[in-house]
Amino acid sequence: MKNLIIASTSTLHSGTYLDYLLPELETLYSGLDEILFVPFARPGGISHDSYTEKASSAFQQIGKQLVGLHTFEDQVAAIADAKGIFTGGGNTFVLVHALHARKLMQPLREAIFSGTPYLGTSAGSNICGPSMQTTNDMPIVYPPSFKTLGLVGFNINPHYLDPNPNSTHMGETRETRIKEFHTQNTIPVIGLREGSWLEVKEDAIILKGKLSARVFLQGKAPYEIESGSQIDYI
């Protein structure tokens, strides 16, 4: 049974790392003392060790130990044996490149489908859909495939920002980019605003947090869904 949280971000404005999600994580990882951390997205180029140390400080607040996947010689076995898994944010291209290069994408998918509790934030959420093609990140490396975990039947656009009607900026908005994606692809997309997350229990998917989310379907006008909505019909 799938049991996961797909969160838009790890840190809210004026908050600390994962602080707004800690009550949810206590429930998600209930009864577990050790969580496997996937640090490969490397925000800002941070080292795997430094990233694991940063994430560990948050999990210590709920009595959990975090162990970096990069420290294992057999990383496929580490995923299979994990009691719980967390993939942190950063650059989605770097993350997906690393998972494919290490042949970890399929083992990670199998572990989550078998019921291993999973948290993804930002880039770690991007990989929950069928592909990573609605990421906001710069393509600083070239992964062999854009295919990701396919834990849900739609792509995620984390950190979703609404167009500002008063802005003089003439660049593309998130909505413009997602609509452009739909000129070539049929996969639905959910724009997750910061502070929002999806709670996935097997086939039931519920939007959580204080904000609504924006749904994009090919050939249709985007629309809003309110917090508390069940969205597994997409």
Q: Which residue range(s) make up the domain with 126?
A: 3-225
What percentage of the chain has pLDDT greater than the value 70? Answer: 98
Q: What integer is the mean pLDDT of 186-196?
A: 97
The answer to the question of residue 111 being in a domain is: yes
Residue 25, exposed/middle/buried by CB under 10 A (0-12, 13-18, 19+)? Answer: buried
The answer to the question of residue 196 being in a domain is: yes
Determine the Cα–Cα distance for residues 197 and 28; give it in Å rounded to an integer.
Answer: 13
**For the chain, what is the mean pLDDT?**
95
For residues 132, 134, 140, 144, the Cα torsion angle rounded to the nearest 10 degrees is: 30
The answer to the question of residue 135 being in a domain is: yes
The answer to the question of residue 234 being in a domain is: no
Q: What integer is the mean pLDDT of 81-94?
A: 98
Q: Is 203 a known active-site residue?
A: no
Per the DSSP assignment, residues forming a β-bridge with 84 are none
Distance of alpha carbon 144 from its chain centroid, rounded? 20
- Cβ atoms 182, 219 nearer than 8 A: yes
Domain count, the chain: 1
Who contacts 212 (Cβ-Cβ below 8 Å, separation ≥6)? 193, 224, 225, 226, 227
- Cβ atoms 91, 58 nearer than 8 A: no
Distance of alpha carbon 133 from its chain centroid, rounded? 13
Q: Is 137 a known active-site residue?
A: yes
Determine the Cα–Cα distance for residues 215 and 208; give it in Å rounded to an integer.
Answer: 15
The answer to the question of residue 191 being in a domain is: yes
Q: What is the pLDDT of residues 128-166, one digit of tens each?
A: 999 999 999 999 999 999 999 999 999 999 999 987 777
Q: What is the pLDDT of residue 234?
A: 61
Q: Which of 56, 159, 229, 232 is catalytic?
A: 159
The answer to the question of residue 180 being in a domain is: yes
- The CATH number linked to 65 is 3.40.50.880
Q: Which of 8, 122, 125, 196 is catalytic?
A: 122
Q: Which of 10, 97, 125, 137 is catalytic?
A: 137
If residue 61 lies in a helix (H) or strand (E), which one and from where to where?
Answer: none
What DSSP character marks residue 131? Answer: B
Give CA separation, 83 vs 60, 61, 123, 141, 179, in Å. Answer: 16, 18, 21, 31, 38
Q: What is the pLDDT of residue 233?
A: 64
The answer to the question of residue 230 being in a domain is: no
The answer to the question of residue 233 being in a domain is: no
Q: Is 122 a known active-site residue?
A: yes
Determine the Cα–Cα distance for residues 19 and 3; give it in Å rounded to an integer.
Answer: 20
